[in-house]
Amino acid sequence: MTEKKEEENGIFPFIEGDRIDLIAQSSQWINLICKWNNDPRVRHYARWIFPTQPEHIKRWFEPPSGRGMREAIFFTIYHKEDKRPIGSIGFFWINWINKNANVSATIGEPDYWGKGIVGEAAKLLIKYGFNELNFHKICAGVFNPNQRSLRAAEKLGFKKELVAREDLFVDGVYVDMHQFAIFKEEWMEQNK
Protein backbone atom coordinates (compact mmCIF):
# COMPACT_ATOMS: atom_id res chain seq x y z
CA MET A 1 0.00 0.00 0.00
CA THR A 2 2.83 2.40 1.00
CA GLU A 3 4.80 1.47 -2.10
CA LYS A 4 1.98 2.52 -4.39
CA LYS A 5 1.86 5.90 -2.67
CA GLU A 6 5.57 6.34 -3.27
CA GLU A 7 5.14 5.65 -6.95
CA GLU A 8 2.46 8.32 -7.08
CA ASN A 9 4.91 10.66 -5.39
CA GLY A 10 7.40 10.06 -8.16
CA ILE A 11 9.77 7.93 -6.07
CA PHE A 12 11.34 5.36 -8.39
CA PRO A 13 14.05 3.33 -6.66
CA PHE A 14 16.74 2.44 -9.15
CA ILE A 15 19.15 0.74 -6.76
CA GLU A 16 18.00 -0.54 -3.39
CA GLY A 17 20.09 -0.43 -0.23
CA ASP A 18 19.62 -0.88 3.51
CA ARG A 19 18.90 2.54 4.92
CA ILE A 20 18.85 4.36 1.61
CA ASP A 21 17.87 3.79 -2.00
CA LEU A 22 19.34 5.48 -5.04
CA ILE A 23 16.44 6.87 -6.99
CA ALA A 24 16.00 8.76 -10.22
CA GLN A 25 16.25 12.51 -9.74
CA SER A 26 12.89 14.21 -9.82
CA SER A 27 11.98 17.75 -10.71
CA GLN A 28 9.69 17.86 -7.65
CA TRP A 29 12.82 18.35 -5.55
CA ILE A 30 14.27 21.26 -7.47
CA ASN A 31 13.80 23.64 -4.54
CA LEU A 32 15.29 21.12 -2.14
CA ILE A 33 18.35 20.55 -4.31
CA CYS A 34 18.64 24.32 -4.62
CA LYS A 35 18.60 24.63 -0.83
CA TRP A 36 21.39 22.06 -0.52
CA ASN A 37 23.55 23.73 -3.15
CA ASN A 38 23.22 27.08 -1.39
CA ASP A 39 23.56 25.87 2.21
CA PRO A 40 26.93 27.23 3.43
CA ARG A 41 27.74 24.05 5.39
CA VAL A 42 27.04 21.75 2.45
CA ARG A 43 28.45 23.84 -0.37
CA HIS A 44 31.74 24.32 1.40
CA TYR A 45 32.66 20.68 0.74
CA ALA A 46 30.78 20.36 -2.52
CA ARG A 47 32.49 23.50 -3.86
CA TRP A 48 29.43 25.38 -5.06
CA ILE A 49 30.80 28.87 -4.97
CA PHE A 50 28.10 30.61 -6.96
CA PRO A 51 24.54 31.11 -5.68
CA THR A 52 22.18 28.61 -7.32
CA GLN A 53 18.69 29.40 -8.53
CA PRO A 54 15.95 26.84 -9.19
CA GLU A 55 16.21 27.65 -12.92
CA HIS A 56 19.77 26.29 -13.04
CA ILE A 57 18.64 23.02 -11.47
CA LYS A 58 15.60 22.81 -13.76
CA ARG A 59 17.93 22.57 -16.73
CA TRP A 60 19.28 19.22 -15.51
CA PHE A 61 15.89 17.72 -16.22
CA GLU A 62 15.73 18.76 -19.82
CA PRO A 63 16.14 15.76 -22.14
CA PRO A 64 19.76 15.47 -23.31
CA SER A 65 20.47 16.87 -26.76
CA GLY A 66 22.15 14.83 -29.45
CA ARG A 67 22.71 11.11 -29.60
CA GLY A 68 25.91 10.88 -27.60
CA MET A 69 26.28 9.02 -24.31
CA ARG A 70 25.90 11.04 -21.13
CA GLU A 71 28.84 12.66 -19.44
CA ALA A 72 27.20 12.46 -16.01
CA ILE A 73 24.73 10.18 -14.26
CA PHE A 74 23.26 11.27 -10.94
CA PHE A 75 20.86 9.82 -8.39
CA THR A 76 19.02 11.21 -5.41
CA ILE A 77 19.77 9.49 -2.10
CA TYR A 78 16.43 8.61 -0.51
CA HIS A 79 16.18 7.72 3.18
CA LYS A 80 13.79 4.80 3.41
CA GLU A 81 12.63 5.07 6.99
CA ASP A 82 12.33 8.85 7.14
CA LYS A 83 10.88 8.83 3.63
CA ARG A 84 12.79 11.83 2.36
CA PRO A 85 15.52 12.72 -0.12
CA ILE A 86 18.71 13.62 1.75
CA GLY A 87 21.40 14.08 -0.88
CA SER A 88 22.81 13.27 -4.31
CA ILE A 89 25.42 10.92 -5.64
CA GLY A 90 26.62 10.07 -9.10
CA PHE A 91 29.30 9.87 -11.76
CA PHE A 92 30.70 12.80 -13.73
CA TRP A 93 33.46 13.25 -16.34
CA ILE A 94 32.45 9.82 -17.63
CA ASN A 95 34.81 8.78 -20.39
CA TRP A 96 33.28 5.86 -22.26
CA ILE A 97 36.42 5.08 -24.23
CA ASN A 98 38.74 4.96 -21.24
CA LYS A 99 35.87 3.51 -19.21
CA ASN A 100 36.44 5.62 -16.16
CA ALA A 101 34.49 8.22 -14.20
CA ASN A 102 34.64 10.41 -11.11
CA VAL A 103 32.32 10.07 -8.14
CA SER A 104 30.58 12.97 -6.48
CA ALA A 105 28.49 12.61 -3.33
CA THR A 106 26.72 15.25 -1.26
CA ILE A 107 24.53 14.79 1.79
CA GLY A 108 22.41 17.93 1.64
CA GLU A 109 20.83 17.52 5.08
CA PRO A 110 23.53 17.95 7.75
CA ASP A 111 21.52 15.87 10.28
CA TYR A 112 22.51 12.83 8.25
CA TRP A 113 26.24 13.53 8.31
CA GLY A 114 28.56 11.21 10.23
CA LYS A 115 26.22 8.21 9.94
CA GLY A 116 28.04 6.31 7.22
CA ILE A 117 25.43 7.16 4.62
CA VAL A 118 27.91 8.33 2.01
CA GLY A 119 29.71 5.03 2.46
CA GLU A 120 26.54 3.06 1.91
CA ALA A 121 25.45 5.12 -1.10
CA ALA A 122 28.93 4.98 -2.62
CA LYS A 123 29.04 1.18 -2.29
CA LEU A 124 25.80 0.93 -4.27
CA LEU A 125 27.00 3.38 -6.87
CA ILE A 126 30.38 1.70 -7.34
CA LYS A 127 28.75 -1.69 -7.80
CA TYR A 128 26.48 -0.12 -10.43
CA GLY A 129 29.47 1.46 -12.14
CA PHE A 130 31.44 -1.79 -12.42
CA ASN A 131 28.63 -4.29 -12.84
CA GLU A 132 26.23 -2.39 -15.06
CA LEU A 133 28.14 0.44 -16.72
CA ASN A 134 31.20 -1.76 -17.26
CA PHE A 135 33.67 0.81 -15.98
CA HIS A 136 37.31 -0.17 -15.74
CA LYS A 137 38.21 2.43 -13.09
CA ILE A 138 36.39 4.78 -10.74
CA CYS A 139 38.10 7.90 -9.41
CA ALA A 140 37.36 10.27 -6.55
CA GLY A 141 38.88 13.61 -5.63
CA VAL A 142 38.90 14.92 -2.07
CA PHE A 143 40.48 18.10 -0.82
CA ASN A 144 42.48 17.72 2.34
CA PRO A 145 40.43 19.60 4.93
CA ASN A 146 37.58 17.20 4.19
CA GLN A 147 38.67 14.53 6.67
CA ARG A 148 35.37 12.62 6.60
CA SER A 149 35.59 12.04 2.87
CA LEU A 150 39.26 11.05 3.02
CA ARG A 151 38.39 8.34 5.57
CA ALA A 152 35.31 7.27 3.61
CA ALA A 153 37.37 6.82 0.44
CA GLU A 154 39.90 4.61 2.20
CA LYS A 155 37.18 2.52 3.86
CA LEU A 156 35.61 1.87 0.47
CA GLY A 157 38.85 0.42 -0.84
CA PHE A 158 40.03 3.40 -2.88
CA LYS A 159 43.78 3.78 -3.20
CA LYS A 160 45.46 7.18 -3.30
CA GLU A 161 47.02 7.84 -6.71
CA LEU A 162 48.33 11.33 -6.41
CA VAL A 163 48.14 14.64 -4.62
CA ALA A 164 47.49 17.63 -6.86
CA ARG A 165 49.21 20.45 -5.03
CA GLU A 166 47.44 23.74 -4.38
CA ASP A 167 44.69 22.76 -6.76
CA LEU A 168 41.67 24.41 -5.17
CA PHE A 169 41.05 27.78 -3.60
CA VAL A 170 38.96 27.24 -0.45
CA ASP A 171 38.28 29.79 2.29
CA GLY A 172 41.08 32.04 1.24
CA VAL A 173 43.86 29.49 0.77
CA TYR A 174 45.01 26.96 -1.78
CA VAL A 175 44.49 23.36 -0.71
CA ASP A 176 45.69 20.08 -2.13
CA MET A 177 43.40 17.71 -3.98
CA HIS A 178 43.86 14.03 -3.17
CA GLN A 179 43.00 11.72 -6.06
CA PHE A 180 41.86 8.20 -5.30
CA ALA A 181 40.95 5.34 -7.58
CA ILE A 182 39.59 1.83 -7.54
CA PHE A 183 39.74 -0.72 -10.35
CA LYS A 184 37.14 -3.26 -11.34
CA GLU A 185 39.43 -6.22 -10.59
CA GLU A 186 40.37 -4.83 -7.16
CA TRP A 187 36.76 -4.21 -6.32
CA MET A 188 35.67 -7.65 -7.45
CA GLU A 189 38.40 -9.18 -5.27
CA GLN A 190 37.20 -7.20 -2.26
CA ASN A 191 33.57 -8.03 -2.85
CA LYS A 192 33.73 -11.70 -3.75
Partner 1 sequence: MTIKETPIFIKGDIISLAPLNMDHVEIYARWHNDPRVRHYARHEFPIALEEVKKWFENPPEHGVREFIVFVIYHKEDKLPIGDIGLNHINWVNRNANIFAEIGEPEYWGKGIVGEASKLMIDYAFTELNLHKVHASVYNPNERSLRAAEKLGFEKEGILREHLYVDGKYVDNHRFSILRKEWLELKRKGESD
Partner 2 sequence: MEKKEKEKQKPAPFIMGENVDLVALNPDHIEFYNRWNNDPRVRRYSRNPLPRTIEDQKKWLFREQEGPKEHIAFEVWHKKDKRPIGIGGLGRINWLYRNANIWLSIGEPEYWNQNIGTEASKMIIEYGFNELNLHKIYAGVFSPNKGSLRCAEKDGFIPELIEKDACYVDGEYVDHHRFRLLKEEWLKLKKQG
2 SS3 class: helix
- Does residue 89 contact residue 105 with C-beta atoms inside 8 Å? yes
Stretch of 7-15, 84-92, 114-122, 157-165 lying at the interface with partner 1 (CB under 8 A): 157-165
Residue from 21, 77, 181, 187 in contact with partner 1 (CB under 8 A) = 181
What are the two backbone dihedrals, phi and then psi, of residue 77, each rounded to the nearest 5 degrees?
-90, 120
| Alpha carbon distance, N-terminus to C-terminus of the chain | 36
The verdict on 173 binding partner 1 (CB under 8 A) reads no
User: Applying CB under 8 A, which of residues 4, 97, 111, 172 lies at the interface with partner 1?
Assistant: 97
- Touching partner 2, residues 117-176 (CB under 8 A): 169, 171-172
Q: How far apart are CA 78 and CA 87, in angstroms?
A: 7
134 binds, among partner 1, partner 2, none (CB under 5 to 8 A by kind): none
Nearer to partner 1, 2 or 66 (CB): 66
Q: 44 or 80: whose CB is closer to partner 1?
A: 44
CA distances from 1 to 4, 5, 59, 84, 187 (A): 5, 7, 33, 18, 38
Give me the sign of the Cα torsion angle 43, 127, 111, 177: negative
Q: Which residues bind partner 2 (CB under 8 A)?
A: 31, 34-40, 43, 49-55, 169, 171-172
Q: Which residues bind partner 1 (CB under 8 A)?
A: 49, 97-100, 136-137, 139, 161-169, 174, 179, 181, 183
